[in-house]
Structure 1
Amino acid sequence: MKFNLTIYCLLSVFASFAQTTNNQTKITELIENYFNYDRENIYVQFNKSIYVNDEHIGFKGYISNKTSHLPSINTSNIQLVIYNDKQQIIQKQLLFAYNGSFEGDFRLNNKFTTGKYFFHFYTNWMNNFFEDESFIQSIEIINKDEPYHLKTNRPNIETAKINLFPESGIIISETSNKIGVQITDCNQKGIQITDGTLIDSKSNIISRFNTNAMGNGFFYFIPVADEKYTVNIKYDNKNLSKSLPQIQNTGISIGYNNNLNNNTLAIVVKTNENGVKLYQNKKFNLVVHQNKNLIQKEFTFENNQPEQLIRFSKLNLSNGVNTIRVIDEDLNEVCQRLIYINTSTKPITNLELKPIKNDSLSLLGTINLNNASLSVSILPKDNIKTTQSNSILGTFYLNSYLVKPEAETYLYFDPENKTQKQDLELLILNQVENKYKWDNIKMHPPKPLYPSLKGTTISGIVEKKTNTPSKYKVSLMSLKDKIFLETTLNDKNEYKFENIFARDSTTFFIQLMNEKNEAVFSKISVNVFNPNTDNIFAKNWTNNICPPSQNNEEVITFSSSNKNAINLNNVVIQNNYKKTKLIHKEGNNFATAFKISDREFGSLLDFLGRNGYRTGFNPTDNSVFIKNCLSDVVRNTDNSPDVFIDDVIVLDLNLINNYSIDEVDEIYIDKMGSSGFSTGGNGIIKIYLKPGTNKDFLKTKLTSFILTNGFSKAITYKNSKFETKKEFDYFGTLDWSPNIILKENSTFEIKFAKENQKEVKVQIEGYSNDGQLISEIRYLTTSETP
């Protein structure tokens, strides 16, 4: 009998060990499988956050591999969708990323009225995951013709609310509980209070607490079963209260001490006396992980102690938000909470502002980073957005793991914030849960259904019948962008060019070549692959409709808002003092003449569209059209006008798309066709190019087509001018440098106009090739003389 009992006990021990080992293996497999495919982080720095509606917007984007924390060098296609505050799409752009970063720059126009706008960045690959991995940044745009009310920094107490966050989401009776408190207004601006109270049903004060500048605080208390508790605060003569959630008779919660020496993390799993009895002989696994990097340990309550202390080394954990989970024997999650682990070192930054000749300033920077990409925005000290709200660290290490990302993260990573660590721990306490839910990890591992797109694909069929298609080649060319590619035909006379990196509205030429490398005429069909890049989370964001603040501090009326005044910057004065010299006027006497000045911008098609024609691309074949503005309502006006470039008729209007207006010297528009014979009866357009402009496009007899939905065209960023110093100080930009590359010496210099500034604000964001991040805001002063 003894022998049998001994065998039974040994078998029980072995079975228990096997079950524990098996569960830990299953947990590891579930987590590693769920995070098997690399995910991307995107952060975008804008040169500022408030713009008037005739400015350029500049931004620099950074893409990081979420597992390795290194730049995501394989990502190339970034989709941008811009929404207004009614969640209507205003504009779309495809942005080109290289070596883990991308840039954008575009000029505002009358589509952007006064209001808030949301810039949504994502990749097609992100659609493979249940969680939203995209990035959204909001900006404000101001119409110069309307007075602008400067906003107060004070929170709106009329919309204030209290949110409570019990540790691990549960309040357990007869044991010590930590309760997070968050007090914010409708715009999620934190409210700082000095004396909040917790009272019971008899109005006894059970605990007191305060909140920090972000509105976060906490208190401890030991609740009595069936008692009712209420949180009360008083702020600015207003009283707010909120009842605590129902007290539970038992359960499990998680606490921790993240401030021990030797990189030790102490986690306490606790219950009450009822829980000790309930969980006897039950085994749990404590799991700490970020993505697929995890550590775990088994524990029980068999020693009749309601608290179990488990220690880990933080050196085995990833920097940023990690999740602590308690998993039972059936692989169900019992409870969870978040923790922020800080194992990174901060780069050392030295900045110096020096005056130089010609009323300019020089920013000299030294950062102990090698092979890093940075973006730097320099603003007047009094710019109305004086507080930096976002941070690349806050996006990559914090927001990318939260169900509800924080709108303002910079203070939690500000090197000048002396309470940075405490503020971050309070923020993490006041979170509901990790956005990576355990049930999804268990049941819904991602499947790679959406490819990571790289450029676009051009394919089609050659109509000419050939006995040996493999001996023929198809050539693809863009003369202006210097693209020259060749591919072979398959046995079905099909061709394909993949990973074509070209700007939007690029004109391509395509032709068939035989084995002797001679051009062979044939009709060639062209299909441009434009995949559906709509993000499945495209509208998974909210815009709180909040009442306006009643205590606006100041109203700005722009000098140029006088509608009766004439803005001379937008007027071209002709024949006032010196007659404009037109070189090609002879023979074009009946036409309206345009001498192209340096103030013109955009493409040649844009110019014609601003001067009496409808221009664009046919939706059926993406070919260029130029039509009379009345062609939709007046009969016999749908044909194109005759277009000449340097007196040579252009039979393929796609060639017009090759030219920007700054390559043109003169344009003559004769809508009646009186200055020559008009074949279509819809007028004549004569274009004369500047000397030295490339005319090779005009000589080709190849088949042409326009690539639409390509990468957005590069626009040179320009600082906007303001009428008064006050307007510039509040809204202007001194310099925007989005592409600073640090090599081995780790130094950089930026020169910019002084604009009567004695103190400036410098905002630096970026990362190095080994994944080190930098995010700093500095106020620098300079002396009056060099």
Structure 2
Amino acid sequence: MRATIIIIFSLFFFQSNSQNSDSQKAIENYLESYFKYDREIIHVQFNKNKYVNNEDIAFKGYITSKNNTILAENTTNIQLVIYDSQKQIIQKKLLFANKGTFEGGIHLDDKFKAGKYYFHFFTNWMRNFIEDDSFVQIIEIIDKKGTYNFDTNEPNWETAEITLFPEGGFIINDMINIVGVKITDCNQKGIEISDGIIVDSKSNEISRFQTNHSGNGIFYINPYINETYTLKIKSDKLNISKPLPRIQETGIIVSYNNNLNGQNLLINVKTNEKGVELYQNKKYDLLIQQNKKAILKEITFNNKQTNQLVNLDKKYLSNGVSSIRLIDENLNEITERLIYNYGTNKSVTSLEARTIANDSIILFGKTDGILANLSISVLPGDNICAGQKRAILGTFYLNTYLEKPEINNYSYYDFENKKRKEDMELLMLNQSKSKYQWNNIKSNPPKMKYTFDKGVTISGTIDKVLKPNSKYKIALFSFKDNVYEETTIDEQNKFKFENFYARDSTVFILQMMDKKNVSVFTKMTTKVSSNSSPLYLSSTFDNSNCEVLKNPNTSFAFADSKTDPSVNLNEVFVQNNFKKEILTNKDKMSMNAQGYKIEEGQQGTVLDFIARHGYRTGVDFETNDAYIRTSYNLNSSSSPVVYVDDIEQTDFNFLFNFELSEVDEIYIDKSGFSDNSSRGVGTIKVYLKKGGSSNKYFKAQYYSMIVTNGFVKNIEFKNSYFESQKEFYYFGTLNWTPTIKIKDNPNFEVKFPKGNQKEIKVQIEGFTPEGQLISEIKKISVL
């Protein structure tokens, strides 16, 4: 495949070269080796980026193949590590991905105090590569008990900093140089100015510039080597200056014009008059490259011209960021420029919202994305919790190639932003280098040590002496989840189930079986593990301790929670429907026992039921075992004697998610007189419904385990309660729909309750099987 690609490029662009030079062959080999293995890229859409501390955080993730820009299906295991503002780990979670997408969320609790948090998503496969392709989302938690000051739109002027980006990394004497300017505060918030100037040592104005909303600008200068130059900004809010770098005697710069008519890209490799003499008879390779897709062109200055022009049809460029590198005869990089190609990106969704029957809003959508997989967040029009505008296109086409990610990147893809291409040009200029550094490509190809993670491993050791060559096996099952698997026992009495989908809080039953499939009881030790190791939060990501500025004139005080939740009723009718329960097993209990008939439709687990009737229950996370303990002595570890269908149970794990729907009767005797073997903290007897699916499992001896390091169970997202409509408009969520699958009909609908809002904020992200990215952030009037 590689040879085919290179030949095609050579035929189209380099017909004058009958064969590639040795240096070009070496470059091709470097690229092939460095980008041989595909990489995974993650984008995660959150329903918003600020949350009151009693809300649900919800998100949907997309994983793509970098080489093919399609949803990646090799990995099922997504690691999520949550850090606080001090970069201390708060939580770790294992998320399950299916066919390139995953979803999840968190019920906020007391562990999350007010402040900033980092949600870090990554896969095991990513650890093979030097470049960081993980995804980090910053969220803010708001304390509902306090007064919240809104963020100011103003930058932190006192911390303004200027960074200069000469086009070739340096400014060259006696030629026109293009220099990028970036002005940001300590939070990397862009500072827009309109009155920047460049002056020489005699305060003569040499050039003038301005910056856009992202703080990016550009100026032109034709300097002299013995002169010094200074950038100055003086206004009511900002008074700052910065000396320009020392002028270089000569050098080579790569420039380009990406705005020619049609689809042409003009690349200009240029130097000054001294450079033409110095670089005579030297050959350079111009490399235009994204991943291993590359175009090569030999450059020389033999024609005595200071400018060497290369005209290229942009249809051969990949979508997104490419590097334009100049490589010398020793295969060292002279300079690098980044270029962005919008390619075939287009707007593919239309949205309309209508009020239905005065109590609901329906969001009508239509997409051109065939078989698209979408996620949608809908917020009230006045909501202040979605200030960060992040697009899936910005993750997969932009940030994956930048050394420092551009977080608020939606404006570069917003078709309503008429200057988006101009803004992107400035962004590309104001980059010192790409994420993929040439020295790494040349000398440090990836060493593949880590695999694509699929599921977890349940492993264990049996506590029983076995005869040599015995034919025992381990059966693992969960009748509730319809799971049954078998594996062998090795010579060290060990066994394992690999690539297994095990969800947290699932109870699995394990039994040792002989060659006749007869159960043989034995004690076991078990554990759940995955191959993933920590991938630490990138040291280049948001290392600032700078606080976000708040506007003291725009604050919000939350209402006090209602202390009396009662509701006045006009009339109360009392009807006696008492029906005496017929307890069929009460004669087996003492007179101190309390019997309970489990009614049809009664919800919950047996362990929860026991907890509501005088005992403490839970899971000991050191041993991964469920427990039942007395409630009157918190220091006691004694347990009642528990029977299921008159068979004593020494393992309580099975009761952890054993549903009451399987149960006929439960008897609880705290005195223990119902059982002569009671250890003094009571007797509990459970009787199952006749013919139930679980009866047979309690008649055989087994070992059980509760999964505590498996895949986290997805939350059912719920809107939180707010005391007033104004609170909800500022902080609430109207709707979160993590998955909409477009099939034959391109139209879709999302329905949610209506307030009095006249406008809503909608964010749609999505992907099609062909790799079409979908990203829309819009304000929509409610009709």
TM-score (norm 2): 0.88
Kindly indicate whether the alpha-carbon contact (under 8 Å) linking 1:151 and 1:552 is maintained by their aligned counterparts in 2.
no
1:739 aligns with: 739
Kindly indicate whether the alpha-carbon contact (under 8 Å) linking 1:270 and 1:308 is maintained by their aligned counterparts in 2.
yes
Relative to structure 1, the CA distance from residue 86 to residue 631 in structure 2 (aligned partners, 3 Å threshold; closer, same or farther) is farther
- Secondary structure class of the residue paired with 1:415: coil
Relative to structure 1, the CA distance from residue 303 to residue 685 in structure 2 (aligned partners, 3 Å threshold; closer, same or farther) is farther
Distance 1:59 1:207 in 2: 47
Give the superposition deviation at 1:680. Answer: 3.6
1:10 aligns with: none
Relative to structure 1, the CA distance from residue 343 to residue 378 in structure 2 (aligned partners, 3 Å threshold; closer, same or farther) is same
State the AA in 1 paired with 2:232: N
1:617 aligns with: 620
Kindly indicate whether the alpha-carbon contact (under 8 Å) linking 2:41 and 2:133 is maintained by their aligned counterparts in 1.
yes
Distance 1:229 1:475 in 2: 78
* CA deviations over 1:610-655 (Å, ceiling 9, x no partner): 9974733353x533344568989x5xx2333445679976421111
Distance 2:293 2:782 in 1: 47
- Secondary structure class of the residue paired with 2:223: coil
Give the superposition deviation at 1:676. Answer: 7.7
Distance 1:687 1:154 in 2: 66
State the AA in 2 paired with 1:568: P
Kindly indicate whether the alpha-carbon contact (under 8 Å) linking 1:375 and 1:739 is maintained by their aligned counterparts in 2.
yes
1:415 aligns with: 415
Distance 2:519 2:314 in 1: 67
Give the superposition deviation at 1:451. Answer: 1.4
1:67 aligns with: 67
Q: What pairs up with 1:86-485 in 2 under 5 angstroms?
A: 86-357=86-357, 359-385=359-385, 387-461=387-461, 463=464, 465-466=466-467, 468-469=469-470, 472-485=472-485
Give the superposition deviation at 1:549. Answer: 2.6
Kindly indicate whether the alpha-carbon contact (under 8 Å) linking 2:476 and 2:485 is maintained by their aligned counterparts in 1.
yes
Distance 1:105 1:425 in 2: 37
Query: Does 668-677 or 140-149 show the bigger shift?
Result: 668-677
Relative to structure 1, the CA distance from residue 547 to residue 92 in structure 2 (aligned partners, 3 Å threshold; closer, same or farther) is closer
Distance 1:556 1:662 in 2: 47
Query: Does 54-63 or 344-353 show the bigger shift?
Result: 344-353
Kindly indicate whether the alpha-carbon contact (under 8 Å) linking 2:759 and 2:779 is maintained by their aligned counterparts in 1.
yes
State the AA in 1 paired with 2:625: S
Kindly indicate whether the alpha-carbon contact (under 8 Å) linking 1:161 and 1:183 is maintained by their aligned counterparts in 2.
yes
Give the superposition deviation at 1:492. Answer: 6.2
Kindly indicate whether the alpha-carbon contact (under 8 Å) linking 1:678 and 1:684 is maintained by their aligned counterparts in 2.
no
Distance 1:388 1:599 in 2: 45
Kindly indicate whether the alpha-carbon contact (under 8 Å) linking 1:415 and 1:776 is maintained by their aligned counterparts in 2.
no
Kindly indicate whether the alpha-carbon contact (under 8 Å) linking 1:71 and 1:771 is maintained by their aligned counterparts in 2.
yes
What count of residue pairs does the alignment treat as equivalent?
Answer: 755
- Secondary structure class of the residue paired with 1:92: strand
- Secondary structure class of the residue paired with 1:259: coil
Give the superposition deviation at 1:674. Answer: 8.7
Relative to structure 1, the CA distance from residue 446 to residue 642 in structure 2 (aligned partners, 3 Å threshold; closer, same or farther) is same
Unaligned runs of 5+ in 2: 1-15
Relative to structure 1, the CA distance from residue 729 to residue 612 in structure 2 (aligned partners, 3 Å threshold; closer, same or farther) is farther
Q: Does 1:54 align with 2:54?
A: yes
Query: Does 693-702 or 116-125 show the bigger shift?
Result: 693-702
Distance 1:276 1:141 in 2: 59
Relative to structure 1, the CA distance from residue 739 to residue 548 in structure 2 (aligned partners, 3 Å threshold; closer, same or farther) is closer
Give the superposition deviation at 1:739. Answer: 0.8
Give the superposition deviation at 1:261. Answer: 3.2
Give the superposition deviation at 1:246. Answer: 1.6
Distance 2:166 2:613 in 1: 61
Distance 1:51 1:674 in 2: 53
- Secondary structure class of the residue paired with 1:730: helix
Relative to structure 1, the CA distance from residue 750 to residue 361 in structure 2 (aligned partners, 3 Å threshold; closer, same or farther) is same
Distance 1:730 1:588 in 2: 59
Give the superposition deviation at 1:97. Answer: 0.2
1:43 aligns with: 43
Distance 2:316 2:666 in 1: 69
Give the superposition deviation at 1:96. Answer: 0.2
State the AA in 1 paired with 2:563: I
Distance 2:286 2:605 in 1: 60
1:6 aligns with: none
Kindly indicate whether the alpha-carbon contact (under 8 Å) linking 1:655 and 1:698 is maintained by their aligned counterparts in 2.
no
Kindly indicate whether the alpha-carbon contact (under 8 Å) linking 2:458 and 2:497 is maintained by their aligned counterparts in 1.
yes
State the AA in 2 paired with 1:404: K
Distance 1:508 1:490 in 2: 21
State the AA in 1 paired with 2:620: F
Q: What pairs up with 1:669-708 in 2 under 5 angstroms?
A: 679-682=678-681, 695-696=694-695, 698=698, 700-708=700-708
Query: Does 201-210 or 301-310 show the bigger shift?
Result: 301-310
TM-score (norm 1): 0.87
Relative to structure 1, the CA distance from residue 627 to residue 169 in structure 2 (aligned partners, 3 Å threshold; closer, same or farther) is farther
Kindly indicate whether the alpha-carbon contact (under 8 Å) linking 1:609 and 1:615 is maintained by their aligned counterparts in 2.
no
- Secondary structure class of the residue paired with 1:756: coil
Query: Does 201-210 or 681-690 show the bigger shift?
Result: 681-690
Distance 1:528 1:640 in 2: 26
* CA deviations over 1:673-721 (Å, ceiling 9, x no partner): 6998783445667889999997556555322122331000122111112
Distance 1:677 1:32 in 2: 76
* CA deviations over 1:216-245 (Å, ceiling 9, x no partner): 110001111032211111343431111111
Give the superposition deviation at 1:215. Answer: 1.2
Distance 1:583 1:108 in 2: 41
Relative to structure 1, the CA distance from residue 341 to residue 613 in structure 2 (aligned partners, 3 Å threshold; closer, same or farther) is same
Give the superposition deviation at 1:755. Answer: 2.2
Query: Does 98-107 or 148-157 show the bigger shift?
Result: 148-157
Q: Does 1:31 align with 2:31?
A: yes
| Aligned CA-pair RMSD | 3.7
State the AA in 2 paired with 1:232: K
1:653 aligns with: 652
1:568 aligns with: 565
Distance 2:423 2:225 in 1: 32
Kindly indicate whether the alpha-carbon contact (under 8 Å) linking 2:49 and 2:388 is maintained by their aligned counterparts in 1.
no
Relative to structure 1, the CA distance from residue 492 to residue 552 in structure 2 (aligned partners, 3 Å threshold; closer, same or farther) is same
Kindly indicate whether the alpha-carbon contact (under 8 Å) linking 1:641 and 1:681 is maintained by their aligned counterparts in 2.
yes
State the AA in 2 paired with 1:623: D
State the AA in 1 paired with 2:438: W
1:556 aligns with: 556
Q: Does 1:638 align with 2:642?
A: no
Distance 1:131 1:754 in 2: 46
Kindly indicate whether the alpha-carbon contact (under 8 Å) linking 2:347 and 2:415 is maintained by their aligned counterparts in 1.
no
* CA deviations over 1:93-112 (Å, ceiling 9, x no partner): 10000111000022100111
Query: Does 235-244 or 87-96 show the bigger shift?
Result: 235-244
State the AA in 2 paired with 1:712: V
Kindly indicate whether the alpha-carbon contact (under 8 Å) linking 1:80 and 1:95 is maintained by their aligned counterparts in 2.
yes
State the AA in 1 paired with 2:639: S
Kindly indicate whether the alpha-carbon contact (under 8 Å) linking 2:617 and 2:626 is maintained by their aligned counterparts in 1.
no
Kindly indicate whether the alpha-carbon contact (under 8 Å) linking 2:209 and 2:218 is maintained by their aligned counterparts in 1.
yes
Give the superposition deviation at 1:568. Answer: 2.7
1:4 aligns with: none
* CA deviations over 1:570-613 (Å, ceiling 9, x no partner): 9xxxx9999999979998979999x99x9999995799599974
Kindly indicate whether the alpha-carbon contact (under 8 Å) linking 2:593 and 2:667 is maintained by their aligned counterparts in 1.
no
Query: Does 583-592 or 428-437 show the bigger shift?
Result: 583-592
